[in-house]
Amino acid sequence: MTRVVVDREVCMSAGVCEVEAPEVFELDTAGRLQVGQPTDLTAVETAVRACPTGALSLVED
Partner 1 sequence: MSSPTLDLDTVDLSDRSFWGAPPEQRHAVYDQLRRERPFAFFAEPVIPYIEPGPGYHAVTRYADVEAISCRPALFSSGAGAVSIADMPPDLNEFYGSLISMDDPRHGKIRRIVAKAFTPRVLEKLVGNVQAVADDVVTRARRTAEDGDGTIDVVADLAAPIPLRVICDMMGIPDGDRALVLRQSNVILSGGDPELVEDEEQMVTAFLKAGEELAGLMARLAAERHAHPADDLTTALVTTEVDGERLTHQEIASFFILLLVAGNETTRNAISQGVLALSEHPGERARWAADPGLTRTAVEEIVRWTSPISWMRRTATQDVELSGQSFPAGSKFLLFYGAANRDPAVFADPHRFDLSRDPNPHVGFGSRGPHFCLGAHLARREIGVAFRAFADQLPDLEVIGPPARLESSFVNGLKRLPARLTGVR
Instruction: Identify the three-state secondary structure at position 36.
Output: coil
Point out which residues bind partner 1 (CB under 8 A): 9-10, 12-16, 18-19, 22, 26-31, 52-54
Contact by Cβ (8 Å): 16, 56: no
What is the smallest separation between the CB atom of 54 and partner 1, expressed in angstroms? Answer: 7
- Residue number with CB closer to partner 1 (2 or 53): 53
- Residue number with CB closer to partner 1 (4 or 17): 17
What is the smallest separation between the CB atom of 45 and partner 1, expressed in angstroms? Answer: 14
**CA distances, 30 to each of 27, 34, 39, 51, 57 (Å):** 8, 10, 25, 19, 22
